[in-house]
Amino acid sequence: MRAVLFDLDGTLLDIDIDAFIRRYFAHLGPVVARVAGDAISSEQAIDIVMRSTRAMMRPHPDLTNQGAFDRAFVELTGADLGTAYERFTEFYETVFPTLRDGLGPVPGGVEAVEAALALGLRVAIATNPIFPEMAIRQRMDWAGLSGLDLHLVTTFELMHACKPDPAYFLETAALLRVAAPECLMVGDDAQLDMPAANVGMSTYSVGSARPPTSTYAGPLTELPALLARLSQP
């Protein structure tokens, strides 16, 4: 094994993702409505964001996830992207940080990442790349990961596919300059993270449940010992 891919939300960051997304959309909806010229309601704006996000989830190998989102967003709103991203940047700089609401690291998460780095493994924060980098970096900070010398963070500006598309896992491995079978995917989501097994990656399911596709399972506190064994020649 030469590389470890760590999911972020629910794996390294202790978060109720459904509750967080509700708060996120409640604050983002009015911003999108203003970008569209106040011709739509916040509820319609959220639907536009969801439809544009679904466009990222479909195959688009010649476009980054941002490119796929932008194409759908412009088709649905007719908005000027320059103006839209000025508003979005302001939102992520000023409003998004207020959504932390007590969120913090999962016990053992920082130590697991540090253990992987100390072993000389290549390490990716393999979050589903449907958010801009600035939003992902903030959530990484909430998870206690700021300042770590990571090899890769999968963002929507960089990636050309989303989980659980096999193309996402293959692209992540390629960016880490390793083969997929040399990777371990660590995550909490059976539907989004464990399909890494379909491209030959080993998988570690965080928590007590063990999905059929997981190679290993357990808490993050047990991961450093496993990494030490797997990284031996």
DSSP 104-125: EEPTTHHHHHHHHHHTT-EEEE
Please tell me which residue, 39 or 189, carries the higher pLDDT value. 189
Q: Domain spans of the chain?
A: 3-15+104-230, 18-99
Of residues 178, 104, 177, 174, the one with CA closest to residue 145: 104
Averaged pLDDT for residues 135-150: 96
| Per-residue pLDDT reduced to its tens digit, 204-223 | 999 767 788 799 999 999 99
- The pTM for the full model equals 0.95
Q: Quickly state the pLDDT bin for 36 (edges 50, 70, 90).
A: confident
Given a contact cutoff of 8 angstroms between Cβ atoms, the answer to whether 151 and 124 are in contact is: yes
Q: Report the CATH superfamily, name and number, of domain 3-15+104-230.
A: HAD superfamily/HAD-like (3.40.50.1000)
Under a CB-based contact definition with an 8 Å cutoff, are residues 1 and 180 in contact?
Answer: no
pLDDT at 133 over 80: yes
Q: Is 133 helix (H, G, I), strand (E, B) or coil?
A: helix
What is residue 38's predicted lDDT score, i.e. its pLDDT?
61
In 3D, which of 173, 164, 128, 155 has the Cα closest to residue 1? 173
Instruction: Quote the pLDDT of residue 198.
Output: 96
175, two tokens: 């960016």
Q: Percent of the chain at pLDDT above 70?
A: 99
91 and 27 Cβ atoms separated by less than 8 Å? yes
If 0-12 CB within 10 Å is exposed, 13-18 middle and 19+ buried, where does residue 98 land? exposed
- Helix extents (H) in the chain: 17-35, 42-57, 65-77, 81-94, 109-118, 133-142, 166-176, 223-230
